């Protein structure tokens, strides 16, 4: 396995809608190796997720995984390693929450993004088996962020620009308030 280069905002691949994979492509050694490399790359960068366009592959593959005590996002409830192929997200209602997000492809910047609180996600796992789950709150936000990458969308597109901050200023001025809001969201809707 290898750690891949993570592309940064400004790279055109991050703005392309990625294409779906066929069952045959998903089963190929090349794509299975790409998935292994994406997992290793996500873990090396302490991300909560990583999408294939972020490593220069315009394919509908994303990883979501939050280990306990993730140093970038200590308030996020754990998400077991999930490999999403051709994922489809369906909001279950109109409820939105403002979530303060960062992104490995937008280094140094965070901002407040409105996200659906309750959603269903359907996808193929890396073995090509159809999976479906319901996600809430911060975990729902993570899945929306990753699927956005597959549509060429970055969190800064959805953030009120007046909420953007560097990570340093986030920690000085916003972290305590946001982490309290994040804990309240997890308590009220789960993950
Ligand atoms: Ni991202």
- Averaged in consecutive runs of 10 residues, what is the pLDDT profile of the chain (191 residues)? 96 98 98 98 96 98 93 91 98 97 97 98 98 97 98 98 97 96 95 91
What's residue 190's pLDDT? 93
Q: What's the pLDDT score for residue 129?
A: 98
Q: Is the pTM of this model over 0.95?
A: yes
Beta-carbon neighbours within 5 Å of ion ligand 1: 103
Question: Of 95, 146, 171, 177, which is the active-site residue?
Answer: 146
| Catalytic (active site) residue 146 | yes
Centre of ligand 1 to C-alpha 64, Å, is 11
Measured in Å, residue 160 CA sits from the centre of ligand 1 at 17
Q: How far is CA 115 from CA 10, 23, 73, 79, 145, in A?
A: 24, 30, 17, 17, 9
**Rounded distance from Cα 20 to ligand 1 centre (Å):** 19
What pLDDT sits at residue 19?
Answer: 98
**Phi/psi at 108 (5° precision):** 85, -5
Query: What's the CA gap between 117 and 104, in Å, rounded?
Result: 23
Please tell me the distance between residue 95's alpha carbon and the centre of ligand 1 in angstroms: 22
């Amino acid at each position: 396995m290898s750690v891949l280069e993570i592309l940064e905002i400004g790279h055109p691949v991050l703005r392309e809608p990625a294409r779906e994979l066929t069952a045959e492509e998903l089963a190929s050694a090349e794509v299975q190796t790409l998935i292994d490399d994406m997992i290793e790359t996500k873990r090396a960068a302490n991300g909560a997720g990583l999408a294939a366009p972020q490593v220069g592959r315009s394919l509908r593959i994303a990883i979501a995984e939050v280990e306990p005590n993730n140093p970038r996002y200590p308030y996020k409830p754990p998400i077991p390693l999930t490999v999403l192929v051709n994922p489809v997200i369906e909001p279950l209602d109109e409820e939105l929450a403002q979530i303060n997000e960062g992104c490995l492809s937008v280094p140094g910047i965070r901002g407040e993004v409105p996200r659906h609180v309750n959603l269903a996600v359907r996808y193929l796992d890396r073995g090509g088996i159809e999976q479906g789950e319901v996600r809430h709150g911060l975990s729902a936000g993570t899945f929306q962020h990753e699927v956005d990458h597959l549509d060429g969308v970055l969190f800064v597109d959805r953030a009120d620009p007046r909420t953007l901050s560097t990570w340093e200023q986030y920690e000085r001025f916003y972290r305590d308030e946001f982490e309290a809001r994040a804990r309240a969201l997890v308590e009220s809707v789960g993950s």
